[in-house]
Amino acid sequence: MEIMEGMRKLGLSHHQAKVLLALLRCGEAKASDLSELSGVPSAKIYSVLDQLVDAGVVDKKPGRPIRYKAKPPEEIFERLKQNTKSILEKKLRMFDEVRNELLAGMDKIYSPRETASKDLVKVVRVGEASERETQLMFNEAENEINIISKSLEYYPKIRNELIEAESRGVKIKILLLKDRLSDSSRVIQEKILELIRRDLKAEVKLSKTSLPLRGAIIDPSYEYKSGKAIFVVEDRNTPLYLRDAAITNNPSLVAGIKKYFDLIWLYESES
């Protein structure tokens, strides 16, 4: 990962990252030099430096001219981490403070659409939205999680939720594709399998047949009493990032997807 990209992921703006990177390289400098070194306009350099000082990642040394010095990299990382934690804790406190008053106002204006039956599915975009829904599902699981995937390349995104679910006594089964994998997908699958075996006691099998549906199921019931699922229909003509994922908590549909999972698990897969 490039340093600039990493800084942006840690919450710094483009200009903040450029100035901090320039300071890390030169050690100590005055604002005018940092403007030239970083490419940040002189009209903005002082405000950007003040932001970095306020964030605790840059020291401001009095004098004429004032000079600036970056904190050591480890200290920068820990300070940014603590800043993010403080922001999140503040937001969570705000949620608690306004919850009751806000809910009362929302309940007064809420007018649900009446339908003869519950919507069978709702749709979210594949990617961050579907991964977030999957994480929430796994947090809700009480008894069973079944996963169907080609290589489970998104495992790092759901790893913590699966570990936590297993610690609650949730049984996990993972069904991956054996054949019809590209070389790159096979490499990914092998790495993911190593992580799974290290992290979990989950049962893992490889399907010898194609997987027209991929996704996850929690707490299914053949008595049609419970369950939730998220799934994507295989479509080789549409890139994954352009596809939608369907989410359902209809017990009958979940039971049908569970039957599909069990049939492949029992008769068309191997350990």
Q: Does residue 251 or residue 115 have the better pLDDT? A: 251
Find out if CATH 3.30.870.10 is the number for domain 122-270. yes
Q: Per residue in 78-129, pLDDT tens?
A: 998 898 888 888 888 888 888 877 887 888 887 765 554 456 888 888 888 8
Query: String of b and e for 123-139 (b: at least 16 CB within 10 Å)?
Result: ebebeeebbebbeebbe
The CATH code of the domain at 3-75 is 1.10.10.10
Query: String of b and e for 182-197 (b: at least 16 CB within 10 Å)?
Result: eeeeeebbeebbeebe
Q: Cα dihedral sign for 122, 128, 132, 134?
A: positive
> Residue 87 has which token pair?
């922001």
Question: How far is the CA of 201 from the CAs of 166, 170, 190, 207, in angstroms?
Answer: 8, 11, 17, 19
Per-domain residue ranges of the chain: 3-75, 122-270
Give the predicted TM-score (pTM) of the model. 0.61
Q: Per residue in 196-243, pLDDT tens?
A: 999 999 999 999 888 888 999 999 998 888 899 999 887 766 666 667
Taking the C-alpha atoms of residue 165 and residue 144, their distance in angstroms, rounded to an integer, is 9
